[in-house]
């Protein structure tokens, strides 16, 4: 690369688009103020490429029959034993799979990965590359987390080529890179964290991971808007993208897959950050329903599916006389427009007048219900508050509400009912059509109430 010419370009930190001059707005993705200066080497013009015209029918390529390609799916996963993480990964870590773990600073990415190293280090050797903290800091954290430290190898390094060399030499069974924004390729002149560095570092690490069939976790920071700082192109390169989310106001952290080549992206893992690291929340329904006021109007329990997991959560509504010319409607944890739609259905189809009432709707625990099967519980909580008649404390309401006021069936009803029964619920209002295909003997603790219209469901209020 002696005679490689350096040139200055402007690279969009959101999508990776390049431009020879600075622009306020990226012409490709339209985001503002994301074009950052970067220095790249101009690629040497190769004379060999396509010098000779292609001859008809000549190629080096051969295609393989899909059925004959060797698959190592069964033995190619490492089960970490941290079941919330395994679930999100789709059943464990895939050999050669590269996972990007992103999240805001302080959410617990380094803690999570160090705990992961500890969890698998009994049977596997792990290489932890830290670009942010010193070896001593990582050691102190490992002590605090009370990890078995025998098979965890640590290196504080930023040079990607050195790291690749170390991986080839040591042949670890898992590699952690903390974080990609601190890594740099020595032959690229821009500073670490720039688009070209992040892109090239990821590509080189990925190549080693694939060649050595070693799974790799890469930490990536997110910027203010929640996007991964640096190019989106990093998300295209890796096999799995995990987002670790948390709010300082919430007691728990949520791990989600935004992309997964080896599993579903619906799954979600819940963790609690304690004084001794992250602990799994195996029973989120129990946690979300803890401390629930009993016998109070305006509350109803819904069940949402997060991937394959049913989670019960409490919906609270408050309908109060308005002091404004047009009533206020606020909503947290539920779609605002859907709430208005349900209010209109209740007015038109069941004759409840919300016209002069403010309505406040809140889902407890800071979770967001995106599932339409929560419609019925939302309607019940609003009507319960309007009439000031409480819903039975141990009642679950599941069903989608249509514009005609009819209650429609929902997927995974059996799992939702089983979860309610496990938590100790006694009654469930469900769509009437679904009642016919269920066997009530499967849920001995639950009284199943079928409702065809919203007015049938409202008759369960005390």
* Cα–Cα distance, 426 to 392 (Å, whole number): 9
Question: Which residue, 129 or 410, has its beta carbon nearer to Mg ion?
Answer: 129
The binding site for ATP consists of 103-110
Question: Which residue, 179 or 313, has its beta carbon nearer to Mg ion?
Answer: 179
Q: In terms of Cα–Cα distance, which of 29, 19, 13, 33 is closest to 228? A: 13
Where in 352-440 does DSSP place strands (E)?
A: 357-363, 395-397, 400-401, 407-408, 427-431
Min dist. Cβ of residue 140 to ligand TYD (A): 9
Among residues 12, 15, 89, 107, the one that binds ligand TYD under rule CB under 6 A: 107
Contacts of 159 (CB under 8 A, 6+ apart): 183, 184, 185, 186
Question: Which residue, 16 or 220, has its beta carbon nearer to ligand TYD?
Answer: 220
* Cα–Cα distance, 200 to 410 (Å, whole number): 46
Tell me if 226 contacts ligand TYD by CB under 6 A: no
Under a CB-based contact definition with an 8 Å cutoff, are residues 293 and 285 in contact?
no
Question: Which residue, 110 or 434, has its beta carbon nearer to Mg ion?
Answer: 110
Among residues 34, 80, 110, 202, the one that binds Mg ion under rule CB under 5 A: 110
Under a CB-based contact definition with an 8 Å cutoff, are residues 192 and 75 in contact?
no
Pairing of strands 427-431, 447-451: parallel
Tell me if 151 contacts Mg ion by CB under 5 A: no
Among residues 105, 295, 440, 445, the one that binds ligand TYD under rule CB under 6 A: 105
User: How many C-beta atoms surround the C-beta of residue 302 within 10 A?
Assistant: 26
User: Which segment (106-114, 354-362, 408-416, 434-442) binds ligand TYD by CB under 6 A?
Assistant: 106-114
Min dist. Cβ of residue 178 to Mg ion (A): 6
Min dist. Cβ of residue 226 to Mg ion (A): 17
Tell me if 273 contacts ligand TYD by CB under 6 A: yes
Pairing of strands 98-103, 216-221: parallel
* Cα–Cα distance, 126 to 430 (Å, whole number): 49
Q: How many residues bind ligand TYD (CB under 6 A)?
A: 15
Among residues 92, 97, 103, 230, the one that binds ligand TYD under rule CB under 6 A: 103
Question: Which residue, 154 or 458, has its beta carbon nearer to Mg ion?
Answer: 154
Tell me if 108 contacts ligand TYD by CB under 6 A: yes
């Amino acid at each position: 690369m002696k005679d490689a010419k350096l040139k200055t370009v402007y690279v969009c930190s959101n999508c990776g688009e390049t431009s020879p001059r600075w622009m306020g707005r990226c012409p490709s993705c339209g985001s503002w103020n994301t074009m950052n200066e970067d220095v790249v080497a101009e690629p040497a013009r190769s004379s060999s490429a396509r010098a000779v015209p292609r001859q008809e029918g000549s190629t080096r390529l051969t295609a393989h029959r899909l059925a004959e390609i060797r698959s190592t799916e069964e033995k190619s996963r490492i089960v970490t034993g941290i079941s919330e993480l395994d679930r999100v990964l789709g059943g464990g870590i895939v050999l050669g799979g590269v996972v990007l773990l992103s999240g805001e600073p302080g959410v617990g990415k380094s803690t999570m990965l160090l705990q992961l190293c500890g969890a698998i280090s009994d049977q596997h050797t792990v290489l932890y590359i830290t670009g942010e903290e010193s070896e001593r800091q990582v050691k102190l954290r490992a002590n605090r987390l009370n990890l078995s430290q025998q098979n965890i190898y640590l290196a504080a390094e930023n040079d990607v080529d050195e790291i690749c060399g170390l991986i080839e030499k040591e042949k670890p069974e898992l590699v952690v890179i903390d974080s990609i924004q601190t890594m740099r390729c020595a032959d690229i002149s821009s500073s670490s964290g720039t688009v070209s560095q992040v892109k090239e570092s990821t590509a080189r690490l990925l190549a080693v991971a694939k060649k050595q069939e070693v799974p790799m976790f890469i930490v990536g920071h997110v910027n203010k808007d929640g996007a991964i700082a640096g190019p989106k192109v990093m998300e295209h390169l890796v096999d799995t993208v995990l987002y670790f989310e948390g709010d300082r106001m919430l007691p728990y952290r949520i791990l989600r897959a935004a992309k997964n080549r080896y599993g579903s992206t619906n799954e979600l893992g819940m963790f609690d950050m304690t004084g001794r690291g992250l602990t799994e929340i195996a029973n989120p329904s129990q946690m979300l329903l803890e401390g629930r006021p009993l016998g109070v109007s305006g509350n109803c329990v819904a069940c949402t599916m997060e991937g394959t997991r049913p989670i019960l959560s409490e919906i609270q509504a408050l309908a109060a006389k308005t002091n404004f010319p047009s009533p206020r409607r606020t909503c947290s944890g539920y779609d605002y427009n859907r709430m208005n739609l349900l209010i209109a259905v209740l007015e038109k189809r069941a004759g409840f007048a919300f016209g002069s009432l403010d309505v406040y709707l809140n889902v407890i625990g800071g979770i967001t219900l995106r599932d339409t099967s929560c419609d019925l519980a939302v309607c019940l909580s609003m009507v319960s508050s309007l009439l000031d008649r409480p819903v039975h404390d141990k009642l679950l309401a599941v069903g989608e509400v249509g514009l005609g006021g009819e209650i429609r069936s929902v997927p995974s009803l059996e799992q939702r009912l089983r979860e309610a029964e496990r938590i100790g619920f006694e009654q469930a209002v469900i769509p009437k059509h679904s009642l016919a295909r269920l066997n009530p003997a499967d849920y001995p603790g639950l009284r199943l109430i079928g409702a065809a219209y919203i007015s049938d469901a409202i008759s369960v209020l005390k």
